[in-house]
Structure 1
Amino acid sequence: MIALTSRPTSVRPTALLALAAALALTVVALLPLPAQAHDTLIESDPVDGETLATSPEAITLTYSADVLEVSPVVRIADADGETVAEVTPTVDGPAVTAELEEPLPAGDYSVQWRVVSSDGHPIEGSFAFTVEQDTAGAAGPSDGGGAAPSDAGGGDESAASDAGGSDASDDGASEESAPAESEGGGSSMPLLLGIVGVAVLGVAIAAFFALRKRG
């Protein structure tokens, strides 16, 4: 009888390389996709820091994409930080409009807004503007000469308000929500890529030693 002896089958280097490639593709496929960037405010009316002759009829905000109609808020505060108007604006794609029911008196104002980005994350920010004249006071001359003293007295008060509140409004305007908008999940990407590299390197080393044994 002829004795049959089985020879151990060696793993071909091409098979090891194919395994390494498959492993690399699998790990890369499991990597999380980069977080979608939040929408940003690209335009406002009034513009940040703008001085208006009279009160605006509405506050208009324009974003980089269509925001969601989920609890939008536009809040207007005076130079002392007191809320003078809080409006639930209308949302039309990327445009958000807050109609003012009453005109704003002369003074410095900050606008705080909050909407939900198209990716489902809430975003917020603020900007400032100034109103020079009272809209109601503009109708004063029809009442006669008595309106002039009232306007003169009001001018001193508004000047004092402008001087005292300008720092507060400037500070509020600078508090944009950039940190909230810059949230992302890409910090783990270098670690995962390193894991892929180590795995591929390990398979390549195994293939090298397999080749040496065959030789």
Structure 2
Amino acid sequence: MTWRRLVIGAVALLVAVFGVLPAAQAHDYLVGSTPKLNSTVTAAPEQVSLKFNDIVLTRPAPPQLSVQGPDGRYYETGCATVTDADVVVPVALGGTGKYTVTWRIVSADGHPVSDSISFTYRPEAGVTGAKGIAAPKPCTGKTTAATPDSEPKSSDGGAPTGAIVAVVIIAVVGVAGAALIVLTRGRRQGPERETDDTEDDTDD
């Protein structure tokens, strides 16, 4: 029957929605960095870069990225910049030891994400490092972004996540409503048909 097909279709769409939405709303996660996680570098890098699985937004807040040295001081020399899924901050490292890179970004789904990684800097003898600063450099201004950051969307250039979710929800509600109407009409027509058949038998 038609109403059964509509109900099955609505159920299938609901399953698809609940299966797709978690993936669409998943937070960004780190997929690579320079220097690499837990690596040891002997040449002082001029910048630290982080690569995420999806675009990084600069609104409602710009990314915050700090590089703390073994002495507890901070060695980023500027604010982080964003290009699609890459976040980069300039640095001037100090002495030998473990450096911790801590970040806080707004992921493609619009939610804040924060975490940290570390690497070891072991320069050659006689190399003099920077002094660093006592506290992380505050970055509240605009940051460079190669992609529009006013609306979350996927890294493949597709439609905004919010728009996709809205369309799917509207489709599910529409199909479910249509199925309910058809089902209700079918139940109402059932008794009427039985009554007509009874009247015909009586007349005979």
**More helix per residue: 1 or 2?**
1
In the other structure, the counterpart of 2:98 is 108
Distance 2:94 2:107 in 1: 29
The verdict on how the C-alpha distance between 1:54 and 1:207 changes in structure 2, with shifts beyond 3 A counting, is farther
**Residues 97-153 of structure 1: per-residue CA shift (max 9 Å, x gap):** 1111x32311112211112223332222211111123x6x4348xxxxxxxxxxxxx
TM-score by length of 1: 0.48
Distance 2:118 2:196 in 1: 76
Distance 2:43 2:80 in 1: 21
**Residues 23-68 of structure 1: per-residue CA shift (max 9 Å, x gap):** x86xx79x89825333332211111111112432210111223322
The verdict on how the C-alpha distance between 1:201 and 1:51 changes in structure 2, with shifts beyond 3 A counting, is farther
What is the number of residues matched between the two proteins?
141
Distance 1:205 1:53 in 2: 78
1:91 paired to 2:82: yes
In the other structure, the counterpart of 1:63 is 52
Moved over 6 A (4+): none
Which of structures 1 and 2 has the bigger CA Rg?
Answer: 1
TM-score by length of 2: 0.50
Q: CA RMSD of the aligned region, Å?
A: 4.3
Distance 2:75 2:196 in 1: 82
SS at structure 1 position matched to 2:126? helix
1:52 paired to 2:41: yes
Which amino acid in the other structure matches residue 90 of structure 2? E
SS at structure 2 position matched to 1:119? coil
SS at structure 2 position matched to 1:85? coil
Question: For the Cα contact (< 8 Å) 1:75–1:83, is it kept in 2?
Answer: no
1:36 paired to 2:25: yes
Distance 1:77 1:41 in 2: 19
In the other structure, the counterpart of 1:130 is 120
SS at structure 2 position matched to 1:71? coil
